[in-house]
């Protein structure tokens, strides 16, 4: 497969390039860590570990993490084909699956099949992120704090799709075409998983987060 073969050849140092030191990128990784920590999973599968920032931190925090990637240069726990996940893992093997900025590196016609397999090998939760190509028309953020309570953040965005525009390394992005609108992405995901939350990361508007629950094992 063209997409995975390209990923297989990427050198590890790519994931330590200048872009990965960008504040918005670090903010997105931090959000992933916070979301995983909130779920308190016993076993985690991270699909696409990249530079290992998230998996290394979680392991040092006492979490059991298995990583999966087609690129053996990234030293994943399991090297394999993402379109054949169920050949490497068993049903309900993990409490939580993290798949951040990965699926857009494969043709969109593989998306539903991978989501279906992810829903089968996760027992409880899935945290998924995808790039969302859009134009910001209005973007307002308000932070406030009530005495003795945590800081609250309110965000309001008015945006429009940027059709036909994507990063050259991606096959597709949310809003890249009519086939990949946020409505269509959520429709596909909802066939296999409950969508608890779907939103743009406030500090990285390019990354769309999905907090998901399995249907077979409802909380």
- Lowest-pLDDT range of 31-40, 145-154, 156-165, 175-184: 156-165
Mind listing the pLDDT tens digit for each residue in 91-111?
999 999 999 999 999 999 999
Q: What is the pLDDT of residue 20?
A: 74
Give the angle 204-154-130 at the CA atoms, nearest 5°. Answer: 30
CA–CA separation, 5 and 68 (whole Å): 15
Mean pLDDT of 109-126: 98
Model pTM? Answer: 0.84
Q: Tokens for 188, please give them.
A: 């596909």
Q: What is the pLDDT of residue 76?
A: 96
Predicted confidence band of residue 162 (pLDDT cuts 50, 70, 90)? low
Mean pLDDT of 31-59: 96
Q: What is the pLDDT of residue 17?
A: 81
Mind listing the pLDDT tens digit for each residue in 40-53?
999 999 999 999 99
Mind listing the pLDDT tens digit for each residue in 202-218?
888 889 999 999 997 65
Mean pLDDT comparison of 126-140, 186-200, 205-219, highest-scoring range: 186-200
Q: Tokens for 102, please give them.
A: 């990965």
* Residue 8 scores a pLDDT above 80: no
| Annotated domain spans of the chain | 2-134+162-214
Predicted confidence band of residue 124 (pLDDT cuts 50, 70, 90)? very high
Residues sharing a CB contact under 8 Å with residue 64, sequence separation 6 or more, in sequence order: 42, 43, 44
- The CATH classification number of 2-134+162-214 equals 3.40.50.150
Q: What is the pLDDT of residue 2?
A: 61
CA–CA separation, 102 and 215 (whole Å): 23
Mean pLDDT of 51-74: 96
* Residue 81 scores a pLDDT above 60: yes
Q: What is the pLDDT of residue 13?
A: 76
Q: What is the pLDDT of residue 16?
A: 73
CB of 195 closer than 8 Å to CB of 186 = yes
* Mean of pLDDT over the chain: 87
* Residue 144 scores a pLDDT above 90: no
Predicted confidence band of residue 164 (pLDDT cuts 50, 70, 90)? low
């Amino acid at each position: 497969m063209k997409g995975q073969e390209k990923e297989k050849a990427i050198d590890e140092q790519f994931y330590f390039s200048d872009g990965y030191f960008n504040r918005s990128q670090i903010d997105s990784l931090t959000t992933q860590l916070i979301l995983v920590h909130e779920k308190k999973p016993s076993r985690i599968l991270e699909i696409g570990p990249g530079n290992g920032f998230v998996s290394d931190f979680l392991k040092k925090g006492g979490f059991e993490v298995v990583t999966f990637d087609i690129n053996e240069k990234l030293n994943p726990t399991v090297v394999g084909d993402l379109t054949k996940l169920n050949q490497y893992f068993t049903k309900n093997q993990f409490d939580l699956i993290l798949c951040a900025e990965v699926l857009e590196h494969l043709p969109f016609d593989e998306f539903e099949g991978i989501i279906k397999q992810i829903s089968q090998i996760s027992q409880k939760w899935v945290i998924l992120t995808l790039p969302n190509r859009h134009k910001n028309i209005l973007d307002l953020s308000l932070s406030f704090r009530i005495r003795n309570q945590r800081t609250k953040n309110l965000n309001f965005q008015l945006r429009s799709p940027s059709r036909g525009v994507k990063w050259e390394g991606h096959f597709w992005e949310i809003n890249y075409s009519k086939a990949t609108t946020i409505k269509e992405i959520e429709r596909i995901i909802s066939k296999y998983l409950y969508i608890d939350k779907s939103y743009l990361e406030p500090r990285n508007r390019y990354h769309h987060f999905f907090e998901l629950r399995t249907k077979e094992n409802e909380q």
